[in-house]
Structure 1
């Protein structure tokens, strides 16, 4: 279902001082300016992990007649990056339930869960999807939509990370009480909400199951903070700290206060404890970021 611009612009609700898309609580995370900043920081992390590349799908020479889609555009960081890095630029379409880039020529306000409304002539050479956790409930439907709306031989690229942290020192677990409580409650709440957050490691198999070929996955160990011996990873880790500072409240508020029934005061108290634990630089925390690509078979129907 494609949404009217004015309807999409006004279709918001407000809770705990944050703005969310939709009057029915369809999404667990806010879509306000702070949320866009947090999503932009994730895109910056990917920029450094991929040495400035916008995608790794083997599209040898981007041409202006190529058609690219960014699914769930939010901050628009990826789309802006493609426009800046490729000359001539491909024809770009952004799809999102909320208007974030009104000056983008092809911007579709669309229910992310329903059938996509593009025609066969609009089929894409590349579809990019980033940070899908908490965004959609039906991943089989997403992959079916993506497969249907790629040109034969076109590529799907999915970037994601879970809301989980790891440490190689088992003794440090005694210093992560609030963080582990938060992670477990986030998993519980998101599952109850119907849009799970820890889904990054599942995407490779889902892409295979949808009929994609040449499926490949890259997994990055991303440090939280500047503890790596690698200067680039130190820069990445610094951005990861900033991202969590921007995103932690937004990740948590609706899932805890609406879905789990916590008070705002109890939620804030836990977040303060989590933030204090995350400031312990000697913990050497890290997360896994997953990048999965797959190709629609060249012999498949256009749509």
Structure 2
């Protein structure tokens, strides 16, 4: 990403991102991706790669992909919202967990479309960061207030924190064909009856607690003008509610993939 990135980037955040990767893989059925890729593809791009764990794991599945990082993986720093220059087109471009990081999603999707080979695929996995709840246990809580303030702060920064529900429309409007969408629930805490969702929810609770102070402090102090001690007092109540396990909130997670038509210019 670029210098406008508004979240932590330290060692504890690296550990949290690796846990979040595991959670997202579990959430969609223990898969790294859902697009129907052929095993012989060679060029794969992971946008906003974070710690690089997805790209490194993908290298094991696609040994033909261009060459301790496996020799067929390389990392580049660039601004995903600028026009991409100097890149050869890719067989597969993957974008995940970019919510609250971008200002112009249609342009971003267009950049991806323009850099996919004809008949190549792109896949987007992302959230609506506004917590949902089916039984009223979220309403009026400190967790709800924190979530609402986070969404509002992202809006103040012109960062889209709920791209997930809009992904399919953006992908179709850009020109992708054979577009498919799948929606998944990511509980916040191990409250679900289903063992799989309970496991995903536990991962989500841990990564949320691990990152809570870091990204809240940076946004609330840097954007909303809160004092650090105000943030700490507020988050004490949020943590208490999260650990109590009485709130049955969840995030909606969306996977959308599509194929660039044959005959389209790269």
Q: TM-score, normalised by structure 2?
A: 0.91
Aligned equivalent of 2:24:
46
Alignment partner of 2:159 out of 195, 217, 242: 195
Alignment partner of 1:152 out of 101, 114, 118: 118
> SS where residue 279 of structure 1 aligns?
helix
Contact persistence 2:217–2:231 (CA under 8 A): yes
More deviation in 229-238 or 267-276?
A: 229-238
Aligned equivalent of 2:65:
90
Aligned equivalent of 1:112:
80
> SS where residue 282 of structure 1 aligns?
coil
Question: How does 1:75-86 map onto structure 2 within 5 Å?
Answer: 75-84=51-60, 86=61
Aligned equivalent of 2:44:
68
Q: Deviations over 1:123-149 (max 9, x none)?
A: 111111111112221112111110110
Distance 1:182 1:37 in 2: 23
Contact persistence 2:42–2:62 (CA under 8 A): no
Give the superposition deviation at 1:242: 1.1
Aligned equivalent of 2:107:
141
Distance 1:231 1:206 in 2: 34
Alignment partner of 1:290 out of 242, 254, 261: 254
Q: Deviations over 1:44-95 (max 9, x none)?
A: 1122123332211111x322x52100001112121122123x1525237xxx
Q: How many residues align?
A: 265
> SS where residue 31 of structure 1 aligns?
coil
Distance 1:226 1:183 in 2: 19
Distance 1:196 1:32 in 2: 23
Change (3 A) 1:207 1:250: farther
Alignment partner of 1:217 out of 181, 184, 195: 181
Distance 2:125 2:93 in 1: 11
Alignment partner of 1:29 out of 1, 4, 7: 7
Structure 2, unaligned runs of 5 or more: none
Q: Deviations over 1:89-121 (max 9, x none)?
A: 5237xxxxxxxx7987532111222111234xx
> SS where residue 131 of structure 2 aligns?
coil
Distance 2:211 2:232 in 1: 14
Q: Deviations over 1:212-235 (max 9, x none)?
A: 122221111122222223222222
Distance 1:208 1:297 in 2: 12
Alignment partner of 1:178 out of 120, 137, 142: 142
Q: 1 or 2 for the larger relative contact order (CA 8 Å, sep ≥6)?
A: 2
Q: TM-score, normalised by structure 1?
A: 0.81
Aligned equivalent of 1:253:
217
> SS where residue 38 of structure 1 aligns?
helix
> SS where residue 294 of structure 1 aligns?
strand
